[in-house]
Copies of this chain bind each other. A is one copy, B any other.
């Protein structure tokens, strides 16, 4: 029997009514002649509420215990959904990440899946059950409960889809699919029918929240067919596939615009331009487990240079702790942080063979009087750091310049 994996996010199971709605869809899918595995996130704001409770006790909760706490959220959602599906006369059984054989490394709070042992889930499906699985969690190689980090339920779904050889992994969300830009910022943004793994990876890395980076990586690596679908309506959503599976007519120079407002900029002034200095700085930051995104260093003057990089805004406090310790070791004059930035990115596989895209993007921003503070590029992405106050205007002007709206033919630019 074909296996369908469906993942429902926290908003989709946020109330009793929505759980009933999801249960209807799950039962329908099952009755359609599929083996069904459902991955759920915690209801609504449960995870944030639990985190707040821990932080009311201490600002630095023990990571192992915090994971134990946070995983309760999915446990509540999955058992309620299993109760609702059973109430429809459709047999369902729920399993924790641990019970489902999701084995992770031991990094509490952001564990990575190292292995999936789907034996028990396979048995449960074979016994005729709809399987409801807790997202976001696993069991570490030292037998402790771990969490996979924000958005980890998407990764759970893809990992199980890969382990079970599922025909499709459907990610149900509170949006209609993947858009050329966030429709809340750009009302004329168009839903995409298909997008390549590569483009989706860049969009996710650039701050598009619809799919987590790791989930897309995992799907690409294991050839899982991924589909983003609306949880509350019956839209067709967006398929994430290989670039060569996208019909030529649908191929585009630019696939979309993404905005990331969760980062902050850090600048070290007048760092000696010597081998080993940058390494010392980023080694110290990496040792704290802080992800650095863009790094920009300009030509030096008098043997000194300014070094800027971006980090998640939530890590600023820890960045201060790291830099206070090393700013004099690396002989920098001083450092400063800036949390008033946004990162605007333009993504498209067609960029590879089409010079001039960057110039067009910069020109569009300049026309609106928007200053660019940092630039970084990949073969299919251009990102600019700008003032957060300019972000919405920037999305709109770039979206328009590249003709991404609904009423414009694709392929232009």
- Chain A residues engaging chain B, CB cutoff 8 angstroms: 16, 19-20, 50, 53-54, 56-58, 60-62, 64-66, 68-69, 71-72, 75-76, 78-80, 82-84, 86-87, 92-94, 99, 120, 143
Q: For A83, give its contact among B54, B76, B82 (CB under 8 Å).
A: B54
The copy count of this chain in the complex is 2
Q: Counting chain B CB atoms within 10 Å of each CB, which of A57, A61, A86 scores highest?
A: A57
Q: For A16, give its contact among B16, B56, B69, B78 (CB under 8 Å).
A: B56
Are B83 and A69 interface neighbours, CB within 8 A?
yes
Shortest distance in angstroms between A144's beta carbon and chain B's nearest beta carbon? 8
| Given A72-B75, A75-B72, residue A65 in contact with residue B86 (CB < 8 A) | yes
A76 to B74, CA, bound (A): 12
Are A19 and B72 interface neighbours, CB within 8 A?
no
A66 to B60, CA, bound (A): 33
Name the B residues within 8 Å of A69 (CB-CB).
75-76, 79-80, 83
Are A83 and B71 interface neighbours, CB within 8 A?
no
Are B56 and A83 interface neighbours, CB within 8 A?
no
A-B contact list, 14 entries, CB within 8 Å: A53-B80, A57-B83, A58-B87, A60-B87, A61-B83, A61-B86, A62-B86, A64-B93, A69-B75, A69-B76, A69-B83, A72-B72, A75-B75, A120-B143
Name the B residues within 8 Å of A99 (CB-CB).
143
Shortest distance in angstroms between A372's beta carbon and chain B's nearest beta carbon? 44
| Given A57-B84, A94-B68, residue A50 in contact with residue B76 (CB < 8 A) | yes
A121 to B58, CA, bound (A): 25
Shortest distance in angstroms between A139's beta carbon and chain B's nearest beta carbon? 10
A215 to B90, CA, bound (A): 37
* Cβ-closest chain B residue relative to A139: B99
A256 to B341, CA, bound (A): 71
A87 to B56, CA, bound (A): 12
A66 to B64, CA, bound (A): 26
A327 to B195, CA, bound (A): 68
| Given A72-B76, A79-B65, A79-B69, residue A16 in contact with residue B53 (CB < 8 A) | yes
A205 to B377, CA, bound (A): 74
Shortest distance in angstroms between A77's beta carbon and chain B's nearest beta carbon? 9
A99 to B56, CA, bound (A): 27
| Given A20-B57, A57-B20, A84-B57, residue A66 in contact with residue B50 (CB < 8 A) | no
Are B57 and A19 interface neighbours, CB within 8 A?
yes
Q: Considering the complex of A and B, which 9 residue pairs feature the smallest CB-CB distances, nearest first?
A: A69-B79, A58-B87, A68-B79, A62-B86, A65-B82, A61-B83, A72-B72, A72-B75, A65-B79
Apart from A20-B57, A53-B76, A62-B92, 6 more pairs, CB < 8 Å: A57-B83, A58-B86, A61-B87, A65-B82, A66-B79, A71-B75
Shortest distance in angstroms between A37's beta carbon and chain B's nearest beta carbon? 16
Name the B residues within 8 Å of A16 (CB-CB).
53, 56-57
